[in-house]
Structure 1
Amino acid sequence: MPVNLSAPRAGDLHPVPGVLLGCTEAGIRKANRKDLTVIVLEPGATVAGVFTQNRFCAAPVQVCREHLAQGDIRALVINTGNANAGTGQDGLQRARATCEAAARRLGVAPRQVLPFSTGVIMEQLPVERIEAGLDAALADGRPDHWLRAAEAIMTTDTVPKAFSRQVAVDGVTVTITGISKGAGMIRPNMATMLGFLACDAKVEAGVLRQLALELAEGSFNRVTVDGDTSTNDSFVVVATNRAAHAAVTSLDSPAGRALRAGMLEVARLLAQSIVRDGEGATKFITVQVDGGATGAECRQAAYAIAHSPLVKTAFFASDPNLGRILAAVGYAGITDLDQTRIELYLDDVHVVTRGGRHPSYREEDGQRVMKQSEITVRVDLGRGAASDTVWTCDLSHDYVSINADYRS
């Protein structure tokens, strides 16, 4: 079960003017499940994306980058069950064939379609099934089908992930709605995740590209489940430019700050929901590192803690074997770290002071915190004023079972 995460209700998700979403059962890997989604954008929308830094990136990622560079995107086609990664030139041809098939039906150019795939790596994409399902997916298109789309992009997720907010931009109400998927192979840069975030704000193209990078950095690049960077990670931000306000030309303007705050809230909720639904997760853990000389070294220490199998299994067992956290900080790569300045807290429990066990710390206090479903680990490096935060989960027996049986 996910950690304090419930499936969204369709009524809680606001339609975004200028966006239609439709889904169908195309039988891409398994029968009787929604596995093909088409998102259609009305003319005039602006689109930006952030993608995996895995050098073995999937064919759809490569095609998306090519098409985004040309601009004027009109549709997104998303399939689950097959990642179309590790498929060589044939995979590129099949990703492009997907775009061509959708473009014919929509009366647009293939370069105006972005393809996305998630699922098993190194298997041939059944593009004929995608093409056969496109008509049904397009016929299903509705402005209020965000929840259906969230369900259709799931793989090992146990609940759909979708959030919506409305904010005021220059006195005009702007709608923000997004969906994501991911539960395993999750690590920053980015993570096996797909995320789609749309708003009806009016935003200049260059500003939207900057916004997409900032949103990814503040949300999806701050989560980790298992330390594996996927081949298919994609985060797409859409502005339909339908809202009746002046175009946002700077994120440092009042309008830009308001839009960024609203979209970052939704992006963080989507990213954190991936961790809450991490494969086999029983606990949601916030790792906050303060007192760094730079934000980068705070992230180094935070990721070292969040990626450590020894730390994560200790949290699963509620075993306050907290020297594992200190060991992770020590090997994080901060070469001139002074261990005598380290402070460590579990929620309100002061565990370590000046690099050693706090005189008042008792193991039963640590265990009390570790039995909670939500826990904050806070480390102070004693080196400066910088801080940063990442979100992770524990590592359970079920994680091994889910991944051992993934293809069966």
Structure 2
Amino acid sequence: MIELDDVLEARERVQKTARRTPLEHSYTYSSMTGADVHLKLENFQRTGAFKIRGATNRIATLSAEQKDAGVVTASAGNHAQGVALAATRAGVDAKIVMPEHAPIAKVKATRSYGAEVVLSGRDYDAAADRAHEIEREEDRTYVHAFDDEMVMAGQGTIGLEILEDCPNVDTVVVPIGGGGLISGIATAIKEQKPDTRVIGVQAEGASSAKESLERGERVTLEGVETIADGIATRTIGERTFEHIREYVDEIVTVSDPETAMTIVHLLERSKTVVEGAGAVPLAAVLFEKFDFDEDETIVTALCGGNIDLNTLTNVIVRGLVETGRYLKIRTVLTDRPGALEDLLEIFTAHRANIYAIHHDRTSRDVNMSDTEVEIELEMRGPDHVEAFLADMREAGYDVDVLA
């Protein structure tokens, strides 16, 4: 178990490389929830995520012999970049194993920081198996993404900053993948302000920490499925599990649609880009996944902003669908002049803005006298969508909602 002194010592090493990130009060989310919501903007950190803190602390504590032999690690992306930059700054050779389907942006960024990247395995755990093989073959030091005392202590420096910038905080909400971040933050928070709650958040499709806490033993999932790739781990660490049991008050989960909507909220309302893992703490607050009082001071740790642009595009569309601002429908018209114009009168009446129309006379799914139409629309919210679809069906159109 790490202690507060470990975190305080880590700060002396970490501050030479990592930035002290802002903690901002959000009028928008405070108004939406009734709580006093603050955002710890760790997505503004060097390399775009908190991982540089733990990696810097771990590499700074290596022996001279270990530094000469080099380091190896496995990561879905953020830890990879943190280790790559920390190792380069310390003059240490680094080899990083990343899952085969790791986001392209994270792979390119890791290479740009000076590390050699090896793509192997379908997820973090499979990549870790290959990294441990390299550890044995090349006598490198393995820098664990989360289950390492010095890594946890480095991440805990975020907790020190939260208490310094918001000493009256009641609840700190932190994402959980393998548990290193929340272990460090919870240690720093609870050993200075024991009455402050620490809430962990996982994706529904990667909920090993929640299940482990409920069962009282570490659980390994058969697989994970979530847009929050930064916390897509099948199990938590042995060391982190002990810290979670000791210091974390509750663990909740959020769905991918809720995460997507939160990413869109942050883009639109706060002008802030976060990845899925960075959005889940705020999603837990916005969708009331745990109980909190009116005016309760809540800090959400937005842990990273390294989202792949293709993923971001999909997330934005999904978020717009979930909030009733994007609608894709399919219907069938009689293949005659004026049929499309009749349909468009309903659109005009509802002031539904058309993005695109695809008109297909050759579809095998309709009669030869008919034509299939797919239409993408900008809408103004769930009530607008509901009223629009009701009028279309009342007018006799058979409508399939595609998105």
TM-score by length of 2: 0.28
Higher relative contact order (CA 8 A, sep 6+): 1
Largest Rg, 1 or 2: 2
Q: Which has a greater percent of strand? A: 1
TM-score by length of 1: 0.28
Q: Which has a greater percent of helix? A: 2
